[in-house]
Chains A and B, each alone.
Chain A
Amino acid sequence: MIEFLFEYESLRVIWWILLGVLLIGFAATDGFDMGVGALLPFVAKTDAERRVAINTIGPVWEGNQVWFILGGGAIFAAWPALYAVSFSGFYLAMFLVLLALIMRPVGFKYRSKRPDPAWRTRWDWALFVGGAVPALIFGVAVGNTLQGVPFHFTPDLRPVYEGSLFGLLNPLALYCGLVSLAMLVTHGAAWLTFKAEGSVAERARAVGTRSAIITAVLFAGGGVLVWLGLLGGYRVTSPIVWDGPSNPLVKTVVADSGAWLANFHAHPLLWIVPALGVAAPLLAAAGFQARLEGWTFLASKLGVAMIIATVGLAMFPILLPSSSNPGHSLAVFDASSSRTTLRNMLVATVIFMPLILTYTAWVYRVLWGKVGEKSIEKAGSSAY
């Protein structure tokens, strides 16, 4: 059994699954931090309300953000070609994400250091940008990934990106950005109703109900776009060598507008995943209305996971298609690290991931309970 796991083909599929787990882990945890940031100006009007919203995520957002950092590190280690092509290709978009994310640590830490209202309002906007901009751009990146990105490799495997920032901001990609934004806003609202008291939770409930329905509608609309063949589709036409060397120049791929549905047609059981991607946000909308805060948050989490999983399942085994040279697309079987590195990384993950989940759960338990103006008052200077 263990030997089977350490075969090159199994390792590649395991690391494809772990890539999904990391992205879902990031969206399901730091996603609600970004949602709260994006909601901050709308659900919290006074300074006291803003502090309630901020302090619901104050102690945990930093640990949540590590999913993002670890995602970057794990893509670098397990899928180096994907790391190289996507980050240099989405260059200015990544730069915007970085600038937005840089605002968050300082925003949380520095905002309450001074009572000056102008100072605090400026940091509120910084936190809004730090939440809304990455939530939008990550979706835009997924939209471009589905459509294919113009890049090729030189014979030395040097990646060359042929597009521009404005090419990335095409209408279909922006549509995917809206799906992502609506999804994370819902997730942030679900967290706020679960964790905050008073008017903040009430406004979050109202916004969350609407954004949850919007998420379901937009995601289903995305499915229609794929079905109409507007959101790309690529198919590997040469025989796949699952344990071959990681060299993306030796296969053939064609653009085929139906290809993103092929996996679902071949394995109809997989339809459960996109179906839950629509149903879970609707359940969350019902949960908001029924004031089942814990269940709403879980439903929102499930929706996030299923929407991301749908994209991965649609594209498998392709990771990043090239629109200009489809044969150079990155796939699970030709863009990974060596077998040794995938194996070492798997061992490290098996050792550390249970530890991480255990102490993270403990920290959430210690911090259990609602955050309101009274509890912030009581915490004094240790609150943000």
Chain B
Amino acid sequence: MADVLLVDLSRLQFALTALYHFLFVPLTLGLSILIAMMETVYVMTRRTIWRDMTKFWGVLFGINFALGVATGITMEFQFGMNWAYYSHYVGDVFGAPLAIEGLMAFFLEATFVGLFFFGWDRLSPRAHMIVTWLMALGTNFSALWILIANGWMQNPVGSAFNPDTMRMEVTDFMAVIFNPVAQAKFVHTVSAGYVCASTFVLGVSAWYLLRGRHVQLAKRSFVIASAFGLASALSVIVLGDESGYALTDNQKMKLAAIEAMWETEPAPASFTAFGIPSQNDHETHFAIRIPWVMGIIGTRSFDKQIAGIDELVAHAQARIRNGVVAYDALERIKADRNDTAARAVFDASSKDLGYALLLKRYLPDPRQASEQQIKDAAWSTVPYVPLLFFGFRLMVACGFVLAALFAVSLWHTSRESEAPRWLFRAALLAMPLPWIAAEVGWFVAEFGRQPWIIDGVLPTFLATSELGVTDLLLTIAGFTLVYGVLAVIEVRLMLAAIRKGPEVAQVIDDLRAGADPALQPAE
């Protein structure tokens, strides 16, 4: 039985470091594409304003990118440090996408990011543009492989438990790569990154336009951000629905929890626009339901049912019983590697082995579990519904508000007259929304996966390293302190660079030329 506090602290540390890392990632994903597009316009038209735009947004990109890289190092090593049993249990499957991410994406991104900043005088405009696109491509490939790894945690296809090595092993790597959950998540996440960067560019440009500064640069940035933002926001919303659709195959429980659907309704199910779900009563109070909508979104049909929580719990109970059969066979194989009868039983029941492991929360040997413990374990497969219910709605609301903002902005920029000032103020106010949506979206996806670290395969509470609570407290304190200080520095530098504006490069050059004697060449 696992130490509850150790598990909670390990999860807290992962959540803190992942959420923090994910403050920087979406902006990097989108801004790299936006600056590559700006530079392409420069190379096509040779109008220097577009090169200035590329350089200016590039400075902000660089400040953000540095922290994205710094906090990404932690992520790559945290699995081994805090989740050693997980690393052993699924490294055969989960490690490969991470390694390929390094080979295919991160090398590309990190090698060319240096040349993006240092190559302006050394490369022709066309060659520099290609470098910028390769850097943008690298960041986006990076997201692909990370989400293939994450998609497998949500929907562990193409793999099986090997009783000789006591771990999950790949049986079909193509199935892991083309996992529908991973593909949907990839499109959803990079689109969200594009929305994030578009909102950022729109907001900063709006601030300049409100003050009448750098109008030429801000106007063009405003147009490109509203167009790219609208396309991306629509993609997030439509393809966000797509990942909800994939859920019905793989993660019915997450969908039921997000919708607080306690009982299976006759098809097509209604969509709960608002309500107060209660975990204890298994009921949603004050629910406002829109008939049919959920059934249509969730199943793309009028006649297929969406399973409610009660039904899924009953199903989990059956899988736990079958899982205990697999667990018993596995113990017999461990005692005698040549027990062919036990191997036959295991092969038939191994897909439910993970469900038996849920019982380890209550007792060391799942075979000794009482009826009540099996029932409790089945109910433990329900994540905490109210947080998912409200979290999901908050994310969706942010998405719709941003889509509307981009649509209005684009409509105004296409007209002859000046866009109204209230629109610029709205763009400024909307700046936090994509970050809220992205962080909440991560929470819904990963907290909604609980109690599993790998859906149906390995419960989270078994996956940690055998560390002391002091180790965890020390590292959580250390990360919080360092990350906190870096966050303050990052935001200050970002604000300073925005305040200085596009001539920030010029300002630095001037400083170097005269204002600061320490910087004078020593001749």
Contacts and interface: CB of A to CB of B under 8 A. Distances in A.
Interface of A: 46-48, 58-63, 65-66, 68-70, 72-74, 76-78, 80-81, 83-88, 91-92, 94-95, 98-99, 101-106, 108-110, 112-113, 115, 117, 155-161, 245-247, 337-338, 340-341, 344-345, 348-349, 352-353, 356, 359-360, 363, 366-367, 373-374, 377-383
A364 B113 CA distance: 13
Contacts, number: 280
B164 A245 contact: yes
A72 B114 CA distance: 22
B466 A158 contact: yes
B486 interface: yes
A156 B73 contact: no
A377 B512 contact: yes
Interface of B: prevailing SS: helix
Interface string B488-512: 0110010011000000111011011
A66 B519 CA distance: 32
Contacts of A247: 164-166
25 contacts: A48-B519, A66-B107, A69-B106, A80-B167, A88-B80, A88-B84, A88-B465, A91-B465, A102-B70, A102-B73, A105-B66, A108-B66, A109-B63, A113-B63, A117-B518, A157-B165, A157-B167, A158-B84, A247-B166, A345-B99, A348-B99, A363-B111, A379-B118, A381-B506, A382-B120
B400 interface: no
Given A63-B114, A383-B118, A95 B84 contact: no
Given A91-B465, A159-B88, A161-B466, A381 B508 contact: yes
Contacts of B110: 62-63, 65-66
B77 A84 contact: no
A99 B482 contact: yes
B69 interface: yes
Contact of A95 (B81, B111, B170, B516): B81
A110 B475 CA distance: 25
B112 interface: yes
Given A366-B115, A382-B117, 19 more contacts: A47-B518, A63-B107, A70-B102, A72-B98, A73-B76, A76-B80, A77-B96, A87-B81, A113-B63, A115-B516, A115-B518, A157-B167, A158-B84, A247-B164, A340-B171, A352-B107, A356-B107, A366-B122, A377-B512
Contacts of A65: 69, 73, 110
Contacts of A98: 73-74, 77
B471 A91 contact: yes
Interface string B81-113: 110110110111111101111111011101111
A299 B62 CA distance: 35
A380 B509 contact: yes
A37 to B, nearest CB: 14
Most chain-A Cβ atoms within 10 A of its Cβ — which of B62, B72, B73? B73
Given A63-B114, A66-B107, A102-B482, A73 B101 contact: yes
B519 A338 contact: no
B95 A349 contact: no
Nearest to A249: B166
B432 interface: no
B107 A110 contact: no
B102 A74 contact: yes
Given A62-B114, A76-B99, A91-B467, A105 B67 contact: yes
B234 to A, nearest CB: 34
| Interface size class, chain B | 35 or more
A47 B134 CA distance: 33
B200 interface: no
B119 interface: yes
Contact of A110 (B63, B90, B162): B63
B84 A85 contact: yes
Contacts of A99: 478, 482
A330 to B, nearest CB: 11
Given A341-B169, A363-B115, A366-B123, A380 B103 contact: no
Contacts of A155: 334
B212 interface: no
Contacts of A47: 518-519
A380 B508 contact: yes
Contacts of A83: 79-80, 87, 91, 95
Nearest to B465: A88
B418 interface: no
A76 B98 contact: yes
B255 to A, nearest CB: 31
B73 A76 contact: no
Contact of A160 (B102, B166, B334, B466): B466
Contacts of A103: 70
B121 interface: yes
B103 A353 contact: yes
A373 B84 contact: no
The 3 closest A-B pairs by CB, nearest first: A80-B91, A87-B80, A77-B95
A356 B107 CA distance: 7
Contacts of B101: 73
Contacts of A377: 512, 521
A66 B109 CA distance: 10
Given A77-B99, A91-B471, A367-B122, A72 B76 contact: yes
Interface SS of A by simple majority: helix
A29 to B, nearest CB: 11
B341 interface: no
B103 A352 contact: yes
B95 A76 contact: yes
Contacts of B111: 62-63, 66, 356, 359-360, 363
Contacts of A86: 80
Given A92-B471, A94-B77, A102-B71, A367 B509 contact: no
Contacts of A340: 169-171, 173
A58 B114 contact: yes
B54 to A, nearest CB: 12
Contacts of B171: 340
Given A91-B81, A380-B509, A62 B167 contact: no
A156 B103 CA distance: 32
Nearest to B94: A76
Contacts of A379: 118, 121
A341 B160 CA distance: 13
Contacts of A109: 62-63, 65-66
Given A83-B80, A159-B466, A348-B100, A338 B162 contact: yes
Nearest to B337: A250
A106 B486 contact: yes
A356 B110 CA distance: 11
Given A95-B475, A109-B62, A246-B165, A338 B170 contact: yes
B88 A73 contact: no
A73 B73 contact: no
Contacts of B466: 88, 158-161
Given A59-B118, A344-B96, A87 B173 contact: no
Nearest to A47: B518
B429 interface: no
Contacts of A360: 107, 111
A341 B96 contact: yes
Contacts of B73: 65, 68-69, 98, 101-102
B173 A344 contact: yes
Contacts of B169: 337-338, 340-341
B107 A106 contact: no
B44 interface: no
Nearest to B172: A340
A91 B516 CA distance: 44
Contacts of B167: 80, 157
B92 A106 contact: no
B515 interface: yes
Contact of A48 (B90, B482, B505, B522): B522
Given A95-B81, A345-B96, A366-B119, A110 B482 contact: no
A157 B91 contact: no
Nearest to A87: B80
